Amino acid sequence: MGNFNELLHGFGIALTFQHVLIIVGGVLLGLVVGVLPGLGAPNGVSLLLPLTFTMDQVSAIILLTSMYWGALFGGSTTSILFNIPGEPSSVATTFDGYPMARRGQTARALTLAFGSAGFGALSGVVVITLLANWMASFALQFGPAEYFAVYFMAFAGFVGMSSNGAGKTVVSMMLGFACATVGIDTISGSARLTFGMDSLISGISFLTAVIGLFGLGELLMTIEEGTKFQGAKARMPAREILVTLAEIPRYWRTVIRSTLIGCWMGITPGGPTAASFTSYGMARRMSRNGAQFGQGQPEGIVAPEAADHSAGSCALLPMLTLGIPGSATAAVMMGGLMIWGLSPGPMLFSERPDFVWGLIASMYMGNVIAMVLVLATVPLFAAFLRVPFKIIGPIIAVVCLTGAFTVASKEFDIWLALAFGAAGYIFKKLDYPLAPFVLAMVLGDKAEDAFRQAMLSSGGEASIFWANKLVGAMMVIGILLLALPLVAPLWRRVSGRGKSSAAPRPAVAKES
């Protein structure tokens, strides 16, 4: 009952006129971010962060999470109408969503996507509601060694569960660690990796890096690919929407299975992109119509959407309770909390319960409002996307560079954003994942501090990381995750399973 009473208190905070307006505005901004190639949820959230510095903390996080829900729904819109995923996690939706829309069943395809996405997202928020206090209480037992073990487990999880290859993930993560060490060492007070440049003494701005990597990098890729918006017509008759919503329960097994996959991969470092592809592959293997996937099968839309949105919701649970973001967007939000002077983790629940439960209550409202608004605005965004990219592209570039400058009002940050934009382009061309880089930038200094504090308290004895069952178990799990890329191919060879029957994945940026 404790969680329920606190959730009711959270609704009392979220259901004010001001916060409802913020949720509506955030969802609409998110829809714009989601439908425009070159932006995406991580970059959209990072661009909005400077605008929240004058807001109170509860209103600020409600705005960012509402934009996140809108971006997820918006990415599904372009996947189905134009075969252009606005979000990397929406790629799997294009496999069956676009063929169904091309057959003249646009309203059915979009309603299947939004209905299953809404169920997955709300299920993820229910999981957060039920587990948040328990995870926060559990984390209160942690000391420096336990915190390092958690960070190690998160890093190892990204390596072990990466769909890009363990080697590329490790390279991306190491570069992120290098960027996290730039500036003043928090323990010794000496400058590191500044190369004599005064502008780097304060470190590399996390927001500037994200804006460059996700915004400018994706923009360069879009320009190179010569994206053209030519898609199916978007009419959303109310009767067809209601008929399709009544059809979704027929696929209840697919919805529930995909939601469970998404919740698991949101809490662990799998992320929404991996969840959507995994659930699509599972649905294809377990469906009677598996051979027809890719031709407009309803289950091929329902599965990735339910998994994508449940993972997107659950990714916020480890971020709030443990300070471990479950996705790139959650990492950006965590950076925002730290900028506002809040420390994500178990103490946040005891020190700022109004903040935490107001946020969780707003998640329920944000997802419902996002479902209604996306159904109402599909024709508008379909028409908007027919504006030539030579007009939209420069606007996105100006918004990105303005956002980079706004972070600290330093011209140097504009050049940094351009440099990270070039790096993001190279990452995408070589199919290196960006999420491990972002995770390492956010958690690198925290992991280093926890490690050094643990070693100082033990007199330099590494045995502190095996001193009790809790820290020892987490270290063992981390080592097993690191070994997974080496063991999995051997296991497949021995068991004779061969390659997965899931649809081949196009080369796109990974958000996981």
Mean pLDDT, range 97-114, rounded to an integer:
84
Helix (H) or strand (E) holding 421: helix 411-429
Q: How far apart are CA 317 and CA 263, in angstroms?
A: 10
Lowest mean pLDDT among 184-193, 222-231, 242-251, 315-324: 222-231
Q: How far apart are CA 243 and CA 233, in angstroms?
A: 19
Q: How far apart are CA 478 and CA 481, in angstroms?
A: 5
Lowest mean pLDDT among 3-7, 65-69, 487-491, 497-501: 497-501
Task: Assess contact for 147 and 162: CB atoms under 8 A.
Answer: no
One-letter amino acid at 319 equals M
Residue of 494, 307, 149, 349 whose CA lies nearest to 299: 307
Find where tokens 């100006």 sit: 398
Q: Coil, helix or strand for 467?
A: coil
Top mean-pLDDT range of 27-31, 156-160, 162-166, 494-498 = 27-31
Segment 264-268 long-range contacts (CB within 8 Å, at least 24 positions apart): 264/314, 265/161, 265/307, 265/311, 265/314, 266/124, 266/310, 266/311, 266/312, 266/313, 266/314, 266/315, 266/317, 266/326, 266/327, 267/127, 267/314, 267/315, 267/317, 267/318, 267/326, 268/157, 268/161, 268/326
Task: Report the percent of the chain where pLDDT is more than 90.
Answer: 4
8-state DSSP, 49 = G
More confident residue, 55 or 383: 55
Residues β-bridged to residue 192: 183
What is the pLDDT of the chain when averaged over all its residues? 79
Q: What is the dihedral of CA 36, 39, 44, 46, to 10 degrees?
A: -170
Q: What is the reported pLDDT for 234?
A: 56
Q: How far apart are CA 452 and CA 181, in angstroms?
A: 14
Lowest mean pLDDT among 115-129, 179-193, 251-265: 179-193
Q: How far apart are CA 268 and CA 159, in angstroms?
A: 12
Find where tokens 């992320």 sit: 271
More confident residue, 248 or 85: 248
Q: What is the reported pLDDT for 350?
A: 79
Residues in the chain: 512
Q: What is the reported pLDDT for 174?
A: 92
Q: How far apart are CA 152 and CA 378, in angstroms?
A: 43
Mean pLDDT, range 75-96, rounded to an integer:
72
Q: What is the reported pLDDT for 502?
A: 45
pLDDT band at 506 (very low <50, low <70, confident <90, very high): very low
Q: What is the reported pLDDT for 191?
A: 82
One-letter amino acid at 508 equals V
Task: Assess contact for 301 and 100: CB atoms under 8 A.
Answer: yes
pLDDT band at 500 (very low <50, low <70, confident <90, very high): very low
One-letter amino acid at 378 equals V
Per-residue pLDDT of 166-220, as tens digits, reads 888 899 999 999 988 888 877 777 888 888 787 788 888 777 887 788 778 877 8
Mean pLDDT, range 476-496, rounded to an integer:
79
Q: Is the pLDDT of residue 387 over 80?
A: no
| 192: phi then psi, degrees, rounded to nearest 5 | -130, 135
Q: How far apart are CA 228 and CA 393, in angstroms?
A: 12
Question: How many Cα atoms sit within 13 Å of 303 on the Cβ side?
Answer: 31
Alpha helices in 15-105 (DSSP H): 17-35, 41-48, 57-82, 91-102
Q: What is the reported pLDDT for 175?
A: 92
Q: Is the pLDDT of residue 111 over 70?
A: yes
Q: Is the pLDDT of residue 376 over 70?
A: yes
Per-residue pLDDT of 400-419, as tens digits, reads 787 777 666 788 888 998 99
Mean pLDDT, range 99-125, rounded to an integer:
86
Q: What is the reported pLDDT for 291?
A: 77
Mean pLDDT, range 367-374, rounded to an integer:
84
Which residues are CB-contacts of 81 (< 8 A; sequence separation ≥ 6)? 98, 101, 106, 110, 231, 232, 234, 378, 382, 385
Q: Is the pLDDT of residue 259 over 90?
A: yes
Task: Assess contact for 96 and 69: CB atoms under 8 A.
Answer: no
Q: Is the pLDDT of residue 504 over 60?
A: no
Per-residue pLDDT of 428-479, as tens digits, reads 888 888 878 877 887 788 888 889 888 888 888 888 888 888 888 889 988 9
Q: Cβ-count burial of 149 within 10 angstroms (0-12 exposed, 13-18 middle, 19+ buried)?
A: buried
Q: Torsion-angle region of residue 226: left (phi > 0), alpha (psi -120 to 50) or beta?
A: left
Q: What is the reported pLDDT for 166?
A: 81
- The string over 374-408, giving b where at least 16 C-beta atoms fall within 10 Å of a residue's C-beta and e elsewhere, is bbebbeebbeebeeebeebbeebbebbbebbbbbe
Mean pLDDT, range 117-129, rounded to an integer:
89
Find where tokens 């487990």 sit: 153
Find where tokens 């004599």 sit: 196
pLDDT band at 256 (very low <50, low <70, confident <90, very high): very high
